[in-house]
Chains A and B, each alone.
Chain A
Amino acid sequence: MIVPELFIGFLKVGCFSFGGAYGAIPLIRDVVLSNGWLDEEMLTYMIAVSESTPGPIMVNLATYVGSSQAGIFGSLAATLAVVLPSFVIILLVTALLTALLKSPYVQAVLRGMKPCMAGIILATGVYMIVRNGLAVRDGALLIRPLVLTLALGAIYFGSRKIKKGGISPILLICVSAAAGVVAYGL
């Protein structure tokens, strides 16, 4: 029965994804890879698609994974599960528990969880960049991924020196798509 598994898996994601859009990615990666719902490759593609389509990334990923595993019911279950925790928590907080968040004990727990989240996201980013950029085949380092990584990194972070805020994530994805077509197609 995959639909209940999807529901439980994304409920976990919804419960623990602090820190906005990218906070959820390491968790989703965890749940999706360990259940074998998608491989690393497909997941990375879907992160890019989610970033380039409207709506919260987490919701987009849940809808996609659900749909790819179990059609419309899978996508409904996964999407509902990922939204449910924050819906319930906000209802509780605004209705009765504003004081709870100010409690020193709750604050202490959050003080531990937030830097932990930052570390998890950092590790995920570093791991993905190293894995993609330093790809090895038959004992030899592949040139194209390495050059693409360096070039895109330079464009993305370098653009901030020229213009405040730099280029947007969507623009970076467009540039990287064009760069991929050129680098692998020619």
Chain B
Amino acid sequence: MNLLLDLFLTFAKIGMFTFGGGYAMIALIENICVEKKRWITHDEMMDITVIAESTPGPIAINCATYVGYKQKGFWGALLATAGMVLPSFCIIFAISKFLDRFLEITWIAHAFLGIKIAVGILILDAALKMLGKMQKKAVPRAFMLCAFAAMLAIDIFSVRISSIILMLAAGLISLLIFIVKKQSAKGGAGK
């Protein structure tokens, strides 16, 4: 089969059968792309996971782009990524057409009142998992706590400050700390 078509169809299949997103997808991608298709090696898969963690965007998209590019350059990346997105795009687009009417049914509205609570729990759980993986040092903890306090204040007082501003500020402060430390280390060595 044409490799481009194969990339598209394989990632469409992955996109269709991975629920929950994120790390749930890695296992399936590893199974198909490393073991069955041998498109990338296990080590490359590890690399891409690390890269995916330090770059924005859904990890599944990062994987699809990477595998596609390795196999067939730009067009491979494009088709693999498109394949990854297409199934969920179609499903959600269909849902968006009838969700409003669906919610007018009483028992479904009740079900969603329960679901609403589950979503809060899932987000809290995701945050706790991230905290668990964070370095147990003072500086990252301080960043985390400041961001936590700032975001909570933004939510409670409905301030119109985007969380993107918080991210940019954190990146900038961290960069400044690094540069100052480097300078003072140089200064210390010069004496």
Contact = CB atoms under 8 A, between A and B. Distances in A.
Contacts of B107: 181, 185
B170 A55 contact: no
A48 to B, nearest CB: 4
Interface stretch (B1-9, B31-39, B119-127): B119-127
Contacts of B143: 112, 115-116, 119
A52 B126 contact: no
A46 to B, nearest CB: 8
- Chain B interface size band reads 35 or more
- The interface size bin for chain A is 35 or more
Given A48-B115, A170-B20, A180-B112, A111 B174 contact: yes
B151 A83 contact: no
Nearest to B65: A90
Interface in B160-187: 160, 162-164, 166-167, 169-175, 177-179
Contacts of A156: 118, 121, 125
Contacts of B131: 118, 122
B110 A94 contact: no
Contact of A91 (B53, B74, B130): B74
A105 B175 contact: yes
Interface of B: 15-23, 25, 51, 53-62, 65-66, 69-70, 74, 77-78, 81, 84-85, 87-89, 91-93, 95-97, 99, 103, 106-107, 110-128, 130-131, 134, 139-141, 143-152, 155-156, 160, 162-164, 166-167, 169-175, 177-179
5 contacts: A24-B58, A45-B103, A87-B77, A91-B77, A101-B51
